[in-house]
């Protein structure tokens, strides 16, 4: 299986500047909680990140499913070329549970309910997302979707959440393996985990280039931006992507 790669994008204007598939957060497309009048016109395919990690770590979603659906429709219409949108899912990392005071099961139930609401509003533009922490959590969430009438085997893409900040590849592998043969999108999976488990995913995204620029103090010769490092720099993001794909394409991991 070949895997499509979405480059995480800091700035909305990259949608009409760059020609590679992009992963853009709703939080970056809104200003002070409002949708700007002048949105970029996409010259590339892209997917919408709901920004759920930040929302949940602030205590939970306050934006209703209807309000979110209105935004998604607007982005899809005005920007164009949207492949799919993530729902308002609820992550299950320990820090997320601490922020909400809820359990993994609570977060799963909220994720499922939100997807069902959004599917009514957005159709197949919104994808289901599986959440959990332990392997069996994800299997339980699969069962919850099926019980709600969602046949995951029929879905073109299914997000797998709460895996991007894990630092143990075997844990990621165990989760992705148990979800086969579903057509999975691995949120934020990068590095060796991608190399090991690419056969089990249909697509992935990453903002790792930004963290690399910050921690490695990367500043490319000729850059004129005001940032001390290239952590919001499209030149560096594209160079990082090219280097990553060049290494991984040798194993036919990605479709550029």
What pLDDT digit, counting tens, does each position of 120-175 carry?
999 999 999 999 999 999 999 999 999 999 999 999 999 999 998 887 788 999 99
State yes or no: pLDDT of 192 exceeds 50: yes
Q: Is the pLDDT of residue 33 over 90?
A: no
256 has a pLDDT exceeding 60: no
Structure tokens at 91: 């992550």
Q: With beta carbons less than 8 A apart as the criterion, state whether 6 and 46 touch.
A: yes
**pLDDT at 250 (0 to 100):** 64
**Whether residue 181 has a cis bond before it, omega within 30° of 0:** yes
Alpha-carbon distance of 96 to 5, in angstroms, equals 26
Residue 253 has pLDDT above 60, yes or no: no
Domains assigned to the chain:
3-206 (3.20.20.105)
The reported pLDDT for the residue numbered 254 is 46
Q: What share of the chain is helix, strand, coil (3-state, %, to 5)?
A: 45, 15, 40
Kindly state the helix (H) or strand (E) to which residue 186 belongs, with its residue range.
strand 184-186
d(CA 81, CA 45): 5
Close Cβ partners of 211 (under 8 Å, ≥ 6 residues apart): 231
pLDDT at residue 252 tops 80: no
Q: Could you tell me the pLDDT band of residue 247, with boundaries at 50, 70 and 90? A: low
What would the mean pLDDT of 31-59 be, rounded to a whole number?
90
pLDDT > 90 fraction of the chain, expressed in percent and rounded: 73
Q: How far apart are CA 193 and CA 160, in angstroms?
A: 14
Please count the other Cβ atoms lying within 10 Å of the Cβ belonging to residue 171. Answer: 15
3-class state of residue 202 by DSSP = coil
CB 70 within 8 A of CB 45: no
Give the pair of three-digit tokens for residue 217.
């103090």
| Mean pLDDT computed over 202-212 | 91
The rounded percent of the chain whose pLDDT value lies above 70 is 95
- Point out the least confidently predicted range of 65-79, 81-95, 144-158, 223-237: 223-237
Q: Where does the pLDDT of residue 40 fall: very low under 50, low under 70, confident under 90, or very high at 90 and above?
A: very high
Dihedral sign, CA of 62, 86, 13, 6?
A: positive
């Amino acid at each position: 299986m070949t895997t499509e790669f979405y480059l995480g994008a800091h700035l909305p204007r990259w949608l009409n500047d760059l020609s590679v598939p992009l992963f853009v957060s709703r939080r970056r497309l809104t200003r002070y909680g409002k949708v700007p009048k002048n949105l970029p016109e996409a010259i590339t395919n892209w997917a919408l990140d709901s920004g759920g990690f930040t929302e949940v770590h602030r205590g939970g979603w306050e934006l209703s499913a209807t309000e979110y659906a209105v935004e998604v429709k607007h982005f899809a219409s005005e920007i164009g070329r949207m492949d799919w949108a993530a729902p308002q899912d609820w992550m299950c990392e320990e820090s997320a549970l601490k922020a909400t005071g809820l359990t993994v099961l609570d977060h799963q139930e909220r994720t499922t309910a939100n997807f069902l609401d959004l599917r009514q509003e957005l159709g197949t533009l919104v994808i289901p997302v599986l959440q959990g922490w332990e392997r069996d959590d994800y299997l339980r969430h699969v069962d919850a979707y099926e019980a709600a009438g969602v046949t995951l085997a029929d879905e073109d893409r299914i997000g797998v959440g709460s895996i991007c900040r894990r630092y143990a590849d075997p844990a990621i592998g165990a989760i992705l393996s148990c979800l086969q043969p579903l057509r999975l999108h691995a949120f934020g999976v990068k590095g060796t985990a991608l190399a090991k488990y690419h056969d089990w995913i249909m697509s992935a995204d990453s903002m790792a280039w930004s963290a690399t620029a910050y921690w490695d103090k990367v500043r490319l010769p000729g850059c004129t931006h005001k940032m001390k490092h290239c952590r919001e720099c499209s030149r560096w993001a594209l160079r990082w992507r090219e280097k990553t794909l060049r290494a991984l394409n040798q194993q036919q991991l990605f479709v550029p």
